[in-house]
Amino acid sequence: MNTPIPDLYDDAALRRPSWPCRIWSALAMLLLLWPVSGGMYLLASTRTWSWSIGLVLAFTGCAMVFLRPVLFPREGFGWRIPWPWLGFAAVVAVLAAIYPRAFVPCEARWELLKWLCLCLAALAWCQCGGSGGERWKFFAFLLMLALSVECFYAISKHIDHSRAVLWMQRPDQYGMRASGTYLCPNHLANALAMGFPLALLLLFSSAAGAPLRLMAVYYLAVSAPVLYWTQSRSGWGGMLAGVAAAAVLAAWRKGGAKWLAIALVAVPLAGAALGFGAWKALPAVRERIGAVIEDPIKAGGIRSRMWADIPAMLRDRPTTGFGGGSFLWAYPPYRVHTDQKLTYDQLHNDPLQILVEYGAVGGALVFGLYLWTGILFAVRAVRSRDDDVALLSTAAAGALAASALHSLFDFNFHVFPNPHILVMLCGLALGRHAARAGGGIAVRGRIPAAALSAAAVVLCGAGLWYSLSGGFSYWWTLKGEASRSSLDLDYAASEACYRRAIRWQPSNWQPWLGLGDLQSTRAMWYRAPDPEAQAAGRRRLVADALDALAEAERLNPGDMAVEIAFARAESAAGNDEAALEHIRRAATYQHRHAYYREELGFQLLRMGREDEALAVFKQNIADKVASGDSWTQVRVLERRAAKRTKAATEAAPAN
């Protein structure tokens, strides 16, 4: 006989779950928490290997949560889908629909997987937030504990005056700014800022017990100095915005319109007083804020100059954008206002980058969802009859405000753990409200619940598989690169690694590039006793190289390393003119990159066209994209030209 599933999250049924259910749920929670704990500790999951691990574990945790109504029907697990989550699902569906138009399919797939993971994690946290009565306190405790561990590591490194970040060194540009296990201090500051509203609310809430309040006190004690040491202006501003939003909502809930009016006056005054006190007492505040007051453009670094280039990108692809993760590869030909000889992989403004990558369609959905969710939490924070629902809604609204302000000057939404922290807070708030007040779509009955679980698990399985395949492709590509770079180069072993990487993920252009580069190198060094056999062998290897590089170029037309590899392959075949055209395209596309511009001059030199090479090197200097090589070559070539002129002049009377 089928046992009916109780209404959503029957707390009585969940007070004494069976041991198998407890073990299953504990493991699911550990996996679901990975992005905001372990993922945060692995260089903030900013590397392909680390975020692929995070995606695999998070998808697995989500699947285990979604299977609970099927595996443990007597434990009281049910389904209720909050309305805002349907908006989240619509965003992911639209991004999946525009994915085929992506400029770089491999990068777009990673971005789509991250969005899908956030969407499913939000749904999983909705289910967890509504179950088990006071279980949300346990999750809030774990979140603050994970952030506190991060702070403890940052404090220990700061005391040691060390720039070490695990096994790496923090970039020199950040100096001694604290970053914990993040390479960039600004991203750590954003993670800490999102936790401040929750911790402060817990101190004054009757819905929190003693353990949670003590954890909140500890979190505030260790995170406040670390947030200061990050010296992140956007992090400080985000923290103040989040706390201010939470304070206004809490005051409004407490005393209605009268207290709201008081809060709207008192909160800005308190913020100004805090800022003035920090200016007087804290040297880093004077230094960092003073730089903005003195010269805002200079203090912002390359941000405003990059933003000035964006209208041209938006005009070229206004509707669906260039695709997720494509900014690094699509931006170079649009660079006009930036003069640094650097490569920029992020725009340092998430709203603008979303418009560039997802166009007006994706951007409107993302911004609309963010605004809708923020307003919804603000309303629930004020009107909810349950203190815990109001607390979680207020904390989520504060975290949304903190991230929104920070995102105007950074790319915190593109750092894997940070949006998961936001999704966790929002999911817990949505789930708790659904459990207490209803709303959304309630799924009752064993068969509908099982069907929904099956659909959700299929999505998790697809995400898990594509994350695994992408991760293994990345791994075998690294193996191929390591083998190719070793002193005892084994061509066959390197080729085998690249081909394995391609089998795991055919849309990954990097193993295609590596394979093409490898084959062109083999062609250059190919030797055979018979001259005809040697020529035939070289032609075969060059053909293989060109085929692989053509595929790499198709998959990523913005990676100019492919053009340089093309040039090497054509040179190995003796086609210097074809090689020159490939390098010329790279120098034109990456017109602010010294390497490609100078490589064009060197190719002309190899072809004996010194006058053209001299003009290229001079233009590099004029455009301020020259390294010391351009200056050296200008001097050398001008001397040669002078000698040729002198020799011609001396020879003229004799003729």
Predicted confidence at residue 606, as pLDDT, reads 92
Whether 484 has a pLDDT exceeding 90, the answer reads no
Predicted confidence at residue 341, as pLDDT, reads 63
Element (H, E) at 161: none
Whether 25 has a pLDDT exceeding 80, the answer reads yes
Nearest to 222 by CA among 156, 288, 138, 177: 156
DSSP at 231: T
- Most confident range (mean pLDDT) of 287-296, 472-481, 537-546 is 472-481
Pairing assessment for the beta strands 164-165 and 79-81 based on DSSP bridges? unpaired
Round to whole Å and give the CA distance between 254 and 251. Answer: 5
Nearest to 130 by CA among 14, 42, 292: 14
Cβ neighbours of 645 (radius 10 Å): 10
Whether 342 has a pLDDT exceeding 60, the answer reads yes
Output 471 or 338, whichever has higher pLDDT. 471
Output 373 or 526, whichever has higher pLDDT. 373
- pLDDT average, residue stretch 8-37: 77
- pLDDT average, residue stretch 603-607: 93
- pLDDT average, residue stretch 593-607: 93
DSSP at 35: G
Per-residue model confidence as pLDDT tens digits over 557-577: 999 999 999 999 998 888 999
Whether 460 has a pLDDT exceeding 90, the answer reads yes
Cβ neighbours of 6 (radius 10 Å): 18
Predicted confidence at residue 132, as pLDDT, reads 59
Round to whole Å and give the CA distance between 49 and 563. Answer: 26
592: three-class secondary structure by DSSP: coil
Round to whole Å and give the CA distance between 331 and 214. Answer: 48
Round to whole Å and give the CA distance between 194 and 403. Answer: 7
Predicted confidence at residue 131, as pLDDT, reads 64
Whether 16 has a pLDDT exceeding 70, the answer reads no
Question: Cβ(622)–Cβ(602) under 8 Å?
Answer: no
Whether 167 has a pLDDT exceeding 60, the answer reads yes
Question: Cβ(591)–Cβ(622) under 8 Å?
Answer: no
36-45, 110-119, 204-213, 305-314: range with lowest mean pLDDT: 204-213
Per-residue model confidence as pLDDT tens digits over 489-502: 788 899 999 999 99
Amino acid at residue number 158: H
Question: Cβ(616)–Cβ(601) under 8 Å?
Answer: yes
As a whole number, the mean pLDDT across the chain is 90
Round to whole Å and give the CA distance between 562 and 568. Answer: 10
Q: State phi, psi for 490 to the nearest 5 degrees.
A: -110, 100
Distances in whole angstroms, Cα of residue 291 to Cα of each of 204, 275, 279: 36, 15, 13
Per-residue model confidence as pLDDT tens digits over 608-645: 999 999 999 999 999 888 888 999 999 999 898 888 88
- pLDDT average, residue stretch 541-565: 95
Predicted confidence at residue 135, as pLDDT, reads 83
Cβ neighbours of 258 (radius 10 Å): 11
163, exposed or middle or buried, with CB in 10 Å at 0-12, 13-18, 19+?
Answer: middle
DSSP at 42: T
Q: Terminal CA-to-CA distance of the chain, rounded, Å?
A: 113
Residue at token pair 């007087």: 280
Round to whole Å and give the CA distance between 433 and 388. Answer: 9
Whether 465 has a pLDDT exceeding 90, the answer reads yes
Whether 11 has a pLDDT exceeding 60, the answer reads no
73-87, 196-210, 348-362: range with lowest mean pLDDT: 73-87
Nearest to 71 by CA among 113, 108, 17: 17
Per-residue model confidence as pLDDT tens digits over 316-326: 999 999 999 99
1, exposed or middle or buried, with CB in 10 Å at 0-12, 13-18, 19+?
Answer: exposed
Predicted confidence at residue 627, as pLDDT, reads 86
Round to whole Å and give the CA distance between 470 and 501. Answer: 9
81: three-class secondary structure by DSSP: strand
Helix axes 210-230, 185-203, angle to 10 degrees: 150
DSSP at 337: S
Predicted confidence at residue 8, as pLDDT, reads 39
**In degrees, to the nearest 5, what angle opens at C-alpha 470 toward C-alphas 30 and 63?**
35
Per-residue model confidence as pLDDT tens digits over 60-109: 999 999 998 888 887 767 788 888 999 999 999 999 999 999 999 999 99
Element (H, E) at 169: strand 168-169
